[in-house]
Amino acid sequence: MAKRKAALYMTMIALAGMLAGCGEKSANTSDTSASEHEGHQQTSPAAAPEASNSGDAHSGHTAGEEKAESDNGHGGHGDMDGMEHEQAIAQVKWSFQSGQPAPGSETVIELKVTDAADAPIEKFDLNHEKLMHLIAVSSDLSYFSHIHPIYESGGKFTGKETFPAAGSYKLFADFIPTGASQQTVSTEMEASGQAAAKVEMKADDELVQTIEGQKVKLALSTTKAGEEAKLTYTFEDAESGEPVKDLEPYLGAVGHVVIISSDLEKYLHVHPLDEASAGPEAVFATEFPEPGLYKIWGQFQRGGKTFIVPFVVNIQA
């Protein structure tokens, strides 16, 4: 009996050692290329009711500092695998090297990510091939840009954007501090000058568009808030009508979807259920948190060229 107990004890020690060596690998390396624009889409010049001519580009946000939202709003992220992660209290200090951004001129955006004690967060996990995704939209959602700021050091990221027109914009920084859950931190800013009239946002009568030689259809399994909604994109060649089966990976997946509510308060960054799909379908799953109008941007790639497909949907109670 003593020998059997000793053998069991040694087996437990060996198993503990094996488990200790199986740590989760995280990516803490920085991007080495310049800030990348993975595409932008504009149906009309960005606009807001009034433009601010003051030097404060953060539209009422103290010192340009924002805390992470407690609900990160990332419906449909299959990479979470249903696991619970501790929500980090991340905050971002935003600054612009040239002061208030001017339309038509390249703006350098600096983001410093810190914890609740104002200490820099220095390690981040790769999220679909990037350490940070930065989404910039105009206040009327007519302009959309997906940027990938470069990580320098000490929690500092730098990105570049050229805002097309004067008016109000909202920026969403999307990142994962190592050991924490996915974070979304947003801020508002003004591009100097007199803004044009705001573009009215209306739900599309038909969810079909032809873009860059592809006819793209979108079908939603439900348009009710609070229910899981499958978003199914179907692609066919606009000229031949043949199904498209040669979509290329975009940031490691068949596509990505960003959804923002008309009041700019709800942000969803959704990844496909089957990341390896090449068409003719790309399926995503998410949940619209509240009723209202939402704009959906699908980003895909074919023939080495990225294209963006925008739709507006009305979600019911």
Residues 81-106: tens digit of each pLDDT: 222 334 457 899 999 987 889 999 99
Domain assignment of residue 133, given as a range: 36-191
For residue 24, pLDDT over 60 is answered with no
Residues 216, 185 share a domain: no
> pLDDT tens digits, residue range 166-195?
999 999 999 999 999 999 999 999 999 888
Domain boundary, last residue among 191, 224, 259: 191
In a domain, 199, yes or no: no
Domain boundary, last residue among 191, 225, 249: 191
Residues 230, 187 share a domain: no
In a domain, 120, yes or no: yes
In a domain, 293, yes or no: yes
Residues 182, 40 share a domain: yes
SS (H, E, C) the chain: CHHHHHHHHHHHHHHHHHHHCCCCCCCCCCCCCCCEEEEEEECCCCECCCCCCCCCCCCCCHHHEEECCCCCCCCCCHHHCCCCCCCCCCEEEEEECCCCCCCCCEEEEEEEEECCCCCECCCECCECCECEEEEEEECCCCEEEEEECEECCCCEEEEEEECCCCEEEEEEEEECECCCCCEEEEEEEEECCCCECCCCCCCCCCCEEEECCEEEEEEECCCECCCEEEEEEEEEECCCCCECCCCECECCECCEEEEEECCCCCEEEECECCCCCCCCEEEEEEECCCCEEEEEEEEEEECCEEEEEEEEEEEEC
Residues 225, 168 share a domain: no
Residues 147, 58 share a domain: yes
Query: What number is the average pLDDT over the span 131-140?
Result: 97
CATH label of the domain that carries residue 74: 2.60.40.1930
Specify the range with the lowest mean pLDDT, choosing from 36-50, 95-109, 135-149: 36-50
Residues 225, 106 share a domain: no
Residues 218, 187 share a domain: no
Please state the domain count of the chain: 2
Name the average pLDDT for the chain. 79
More confident residue, 157 or 33: 157
In a domain, 197, yes or no: no
In a domain, 257, yes or no: yes
Domain boundary, last residue among 135, 162, 191: 191
Of all residues in the chain, the percent with pLDDT exceeding 90 is: 65
